[in-house]
């Protein structure tokens, strides 16, 4: 997870990739929109394949939360 950085003074404190102004959400949106890893890497030459995997892992980690229901 060291590839994902959070800086309150950058991108509104949203998670970014390696201190760049490429947000995790941007990568996830591109993947959700059907872009391939190769297309993303071509559009953003500063990104690495591991950055894309780290974005997916970050999303998986932070969307895994318990759902509480009333008994």
Residues 6+ apart with CB under 8 A from 3: 17, 18, 50, 51, 54
Read off the pTM: 0.85
We find that the CATH architecture of domain 4-63 is: Orthogonal Bundle (1.10)
Two tokens, residue 68: 């509480």
Sorted by where each begins, the domain ranges of the chain are: 4-63
Two tokens, residue 70: 């009333």
pLDDT in tens, 30-64: 999 999 999 999 999 999 999 999 999 999 998 88
Q: Residues 44, 69: contact at Cβ < 8 Å?
A: no
């Amino acid at each position: 997870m060291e590839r994902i950085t959070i800086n309150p003074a950058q991108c509104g404190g949203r998670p970014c990739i390696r201190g760049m102004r490429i947000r995790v959400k941007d990568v996830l949106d591109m993947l959700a929109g059907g872009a391939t890893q190769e297309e993303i890497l071509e559009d953003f030459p500063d990104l690495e394949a591991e950055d894309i995997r780290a974005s997916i892992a970050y999303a998986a980690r932070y969307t895994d939360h318990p759902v509480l229901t009333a008994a």
